[in-house]
A and B are shown apart, each in its own frame.
Chain A
């Protein structure tokens, strides 16, 4: 009985904490949207914010653009990522290991750097590709314009392909070839088999990937912020940043943000719910049999070089070209396209200047301690959440589960905005404008990923491992210390590194919560870029990529280490 009560206490504490982190900000956002002033504690109720928002024709343009962007990059990434995953997993494509790395590598590139790289490559005025094309064909002006809806969808697609690849490759890989062989021995030919067996079996994975991509497409800020904001093409997340940071709007913009945000939240939570249903359903298709098998591989024949070229083209577009352009830009003293004449002027001046840059040093320090602290807090919380949900018997389980999942669907900009409301409202907690508010924001934003990582690792631990310890006379606390924690450690450390890497490159939340002394590296980089110092931004970006790469390698190594392999 005492045991039961103790777990219920854990449930209660967790539920309260999660309500505070996730529900309170969203509720205040919702309340603010019904206030005439747009601030949650002000008196009176009204629909004026909604009337003003829905009455504005620009709102429908915004909704339309957001939908076009999200659907466009979802479809693009599904097609490209699906084909690449199929080529690598189910055909006799040569150099598979290299291809896998080339397709997954773009994950280390923060999307805003990808966008900046492409802006340098294809801006209408002096993008390097435009310059090349103009010279080659004697055109009056560059044919490419990355500052457009098409450009945004293109770059976001490049950024999303690795995620699609990882989801679908796993599904392709885990499909027992016996299922296809059974169809073929039943007399089915390839196309028939593909249509009746292959695609229906994969459909849960495809739908899950699509729902995930749509959520990401609806909430990303990086690419639309870099490529759409300067020319006035808005999606919801960049519109919120614009409204919140644009000084001329004043406080009146808060009401509008709240109204847009509340509307948007309904859409995203619906998507998140659909995603959850789909992933839950996917487990019913037991495609993993646990037997060792090699998937059937289609012979590509004469198409082999073409397939290889496809992988290579993606790698060049998503990594080599933008990163090369950034590196070039960081080495030249002023913005200049790649050319032979510039070669003598190349130098490390920008990089050397970074060392003496006090502002940047401060930002780097903020990034480091904020990311380390957020990661530590969120991983601890995630472990407790996983424990309460999977092992607890308390009634709070489903509430905790839902609350910990919800941040997946809440854009960083929205969390940032909602936290502004919270800490302007409870001003006796004076963390508004400090780095502490960033820690709170990141704990909320990354709760969903980390608690799922912790659950995935805990679910693999047979409950009897813990029961064995308890029947050996170990108290629950001793059981956790000697048995559960050591076995979950590698997964938790993996999640920790992942969070650190993501906080270091996070832009939208940090922009919204920007104060006097909480500038992070990403924000500093952004302000160099937006303030017309692209060379400085590129130099910071190059080092950010180096840090990301190191962290990603570390993460890969940690998450592929099996528990229990160390004696």
Chain B
């Protein structure tokens, strides 16, 4: 539905390009998220699709129609592109009522009064704001304003919906509720969506696919499960969740030589730069437990405990002086100084190849 080829964008006066050669294809009905730290070029890419920024090179097509092509000198203006957009600030016009806000795209299309009313009602029904239709848009809560913005984007029935961090101004509880609501709604109408966020949890919960960006490039692209469980870069491993990175010094079959001593992996790999493990995958056992010998087990000591209800975080020191963080069952109490044994399960050690 959206086809981006080798997109470059340099802002006037900037020394470095914000978007550096992005290529991306979004399927019909797909929910794709551009995820990355601030300044990674995700919003610039989204705004280029909308036509709010003019890229310096590359091409963009929406629903098989070219809307930008630097080579062919095509640049379709924003208003002529088949898109709808939801903004971080909601961008609800304060001088219009809820109904007038939602009806705006239809006013532009010069639809009949009857059809406009019908489609606005339909869109307001979808976001559950039918009863608020004639209220002034400024007299709504943040969550309601964002629903109006979504209704305004739906009503146009555009080929693709672009969402620029739409939930980041909401408070934590409402944000979580809106995530599920938003995903269900877009899936129900079968909308193609490109979503921008810096929140990895949000990306994991919402997306069909995630394009992880850094420094103006796409670092990795894949399903949430694939990216989280088997990242292929160190950036991917650490951005999508906490990860302990253990450098690899040498490889011998399934066994890798690391500063923590030898560790056994599930399979044999070539050219490994490091192995990583999520804190929740590190197995923590008491010293009293008698366990079969394993090359991946190490004696350790608790340095500190952070209890946060849902989970419990342990700062752990290995005998060699290396420090790690592990997430453990909150029901068992630990104290600084406790002796432990920890294990790196071979199936949970994620191998990362040397970057070329």
Contacts and interface: CB of A to CB of B under 8 A. Distances in A.
Interface of A: 1-4, 393, 462, 464-465, 467-476, 478, 482-483, 486-487, 563-567
A419 B78 CA distance: 44
B104 A469 contact: yes
10 contacts: A3-B77, A464-B88, A465-B93, A467-B87, A471-B83, A471-B162, A473-B105, A476-B79, A478-B108, A564-B95
A471 B97 contact: no
Interface in B79-97: 79-81, 83-85, 87-89, 91, 93-95, 97
B89 A462 contact: yes
A483 B89 contact: no
Interface in B84-127: 84-85, 87-89, 91, 93-95, 97, 104-105, 107-109
Contact of B105 (A472, A476, A564): A472
Given A462-B89, A462-B91, A564-B94, A472 B75 contact: no
A473 B94 contact: no
Nearest to B47: A467
Residue among A472, A476, A563 with the highest chain B CB neighbour number at 10 A: A472
A1 B75 contact: yes
B94 A472 contact: no
Contacts of B77: 2-3, 475
B56 interface: no
Contacts of B97: 567
A394 to B, nearest CB: 10
List 3 A-B pairs, minimum CB-CB distance, nearest first.
A564-B94, A468-B91, A471-B85
B286 interface: no
Contacts of A473: 79-80, 105, 108-109, 156
Contacts of B108: 472-474, 478
A4 B88 CA distance: 25
Given A1-B54, A468-B93, A470-B52, 17 more contacts: A1-B73, A1-B75, A4-B54, A464-B87, A465-B91, A468-B149, A470-B78, A471-B81, A472-B84, A472-B104, A473-B79, A473-B105, A482-B107, A486-B95, A487-B94, A564-B136, A566-B95
B79 A475 contact: yes
Nearest to B84: A471
Contacts of A465: 91, 93
A468 B51 CA distance: 12
B203 interface: no
Contacts of A469: 93, 104
How many interface residues does chain B have, given as a range?
Answer: 20 to 34
A566 B73 CA distance: 44
Contacts of B52: 467, 470-471
B144 to A, nearest CB: 16
A222 B179 CA distance: 65
Contact of B12 (A2, A393, A566): A393
A473 B155 CA distance: 12
Contacts of B91: 462, 464-465, 467-468
Interface in B123-168: 136, 138, 149, 152, 156, 162
Nearest to B74: A1
B50 interface: yes
A464 B93 CA distance: 10
A136 B156 CA distance: 84
A7 to B, nearest CB: 12
A563 B95 contact: yes
A422 to B, nearest CB: 36
A483 B104 CA distance: 10
Most A C-beta atoms less than 10 A away, residue of B12, B79, B87: B79
Contacts of A566: 95
Contacts of A393: 12
Nearest to A471: B85
Contact of B78 (A462, A471, A482, A483): A471
Nearest to B108: A473
A4 B54 CA distance: 9
A403 B171 CA distance: 45
Contacts of B79: 470-476, 478
A563 B105 contact: no
A17 B89 CA distance: 36
Contacts of B138: 564-565
A468 B87 contact: yes
Nearest to A472: B105
B89 A563 contact: no
Given A486-B95, A564-B94, A566-B95, A468 B85 contact: yes
Nearest to B109: A473
Contacts of B152: 468, 472
Nearest to A461: B94
A467 B50 CA distance: 9
Contacts of B78: 3, 467, 470-471
B93 A2 contact: no
Contacts of B84: 471-472
Contacts of A487: 93-95
Interface in B197-246: none
A477 to B, nearest CB: 10
Interface in B37-89: 50-52, 54, 73, 75, 77-81, 83-85, 87-89
Nearest to B78: A470
A563 B152 CA distance: 21
Nearest to A465: B91
A1 to B, nearest CB: 4
B325 to A, nearest CB: 36
B104 A474 contact: yes
B9 to A, nearest CB: 14
Nearest to B104: A472
B93 A483 contact: yes
Nearest to B138: A564
A4 B77 CA distance: 10
A482 B89 CA distance: 19
Nearest to B137: A564
A386 B189 CA distance: 41
Contacts of B12: 393
Contacts of A475: 77, 79
A452 to B, nearest CB: 23
A109 B162 CA distance: 55
Contacts of A486: 95
Contacts of A474: 79, 104, 108
B350 to A, nearest CB: 39
Contacts of B83: 471
Nearest to A468: B91
A567 B51 CA distance: 31
A473 B80 CA distance: 6
Contacts of A483: 93
A4 B73 CA distance: 13
| B77, B95, B107, most chain A CB atoms within 10 A | B95
Given A487-B95, A563-B95, A482 B162 contact: no
B85 A467 contact: yes
Nearest to A489: B95
A19 to B, nearest CB: 24
Given A470-B78, A474-B79, A563 B94 contact: yes
Most chain B CB neighbours (cut-off 10 Å) among A3, A468, A478, A564: A468
Contacts of B104: 469, 472, 474, 482
A140 B12 CA distance: 76
B93 to A, nearest CB: 6
Candidate in A2, A393, A483, A567 with the most chain B CB atoms within 10 angstroms: A567
Interface in B277-314: none
